[in-house]
Structure 1
Amino acid sequence: MTARFKDLALDANDHQALADWWCSAIGYVRHASAAERPPTDPIPIADPAGKGPLIWLNPVTEPKTVKNRMHLDVVGDRAELLALGATMVREEDDDIRWDILADPEGNEFCVFAPE
């Protein structure tokens, strides 16, 4: 084996606020180690049930300018995510069976309706 999956990382201009947004959006919490870190360090958020991957919100100075080459897929309620502050990028249509939204900093993610 050359490598194994470890964590996900997401760049953010305001990594503290975006960590809170993603926690609200997907039910994650700040990882216990986040309390020990300086506020300028990356913020780890975790699935409290221990099933999902650890996600790091990394502070960056440059704004997002192009479409993500990698993104998150979530199962959830589009209207609730929009109410939290996501924006619609593309609605489900004849070509795709999911919605494409963006978080408050413009990072795209796909939303699949619950079954």
Structure 2
Amino acid sequence: MARLRDIVFDCAHPAATARFWAAALDGYAVAPYDDEELARLRALGITDVEDDPTVLVESSMGGPRLFFQRVPEGKSGKNRVHPDLRAADPEAETERLTGLGATVVARYADHVLLADPEGNEFCLFGGT
């Protein structure tokens, strides 16, 4: 039986998008760059991690990894798959997320539809 390995986000700016999601989610952080990874990037001609075409975000709590990869085309429509988040205080969390760069797309009775800085939609529900 298959197991979930990564949730992959196509984006124009993987490093910035990865930082947004690492800050947005409890227990997540951009994977550190070790010497081997830095050597791999240098071999590709990349000297600044901001230009890394693939950035990994890991969970310290055993959640799925998030993988951000550069793609040449821009987002052209509604996401077919999107993350659903929850927070005890969704209004406060909406403010925090918009402070990180998210935008509110729509408000519904039971959730808020937001978009990350690259336009990827996600929902925020109340609850614990």
Tell which has more relative contact order, 1 or 2 (C-alpha 8 A, sep 6+).
2
TM-score interval for Structure 1 and Structure 2 normalised by the shorter chain: 0.7 to 0.9
CA distance in 1, matches of 2:95, 2:108: 13
**1:92 Cα deviation (Å)?**
2.0
Q: Secondary structure at the match of 2:72?
A: coil
CA distance in 2, matches of 1:114, 1:79: 16
**1:72 Cα deviation (Å)?**
0.7
Aligned position for 2:69: 58
Pair 1:20-2:31 in alignment: no
CA distance in 2, matches of 1:109, 1:59: 19
Deviates more, 1:99-108 or 1:84-93: 84-93
Aligned position for 2:96: 80
Of the two, which has the highest radius of gyration? Answer: 2
**1:42 Cα deviation (Å)?**
1.1
> What are the ranges of 5 or more consecutive residues in structure 1 without an aligned counterpart?
none
8 Å Cα contact 2:54/2:70 also seen in 1: yes
Q: Which has the higher helix share?
A: 2
TM alignment of 1:1-115, pairs within 5 A: 1=1, 3-27=2-26, 28-32=28-32, 34-35=33-34, 36-37=37-38, 38=41, 39=49, 40-49=52-61, 51-76=62-87, 77-93=93-109, 97-115=110-128
Deviating 4+ runs (over 4 angstroms): none
Q: TM-score, normalised by structure 2?
A: 0.77
Partner letter of residue 64 of structure 1? K
CA distance in 1, matches of 2:53, 2:100: 25
Q: TM-score, normalised by structure 1?
A: 0.84
Identity score, percent: 35
**Corresponding pairs, count:** 109
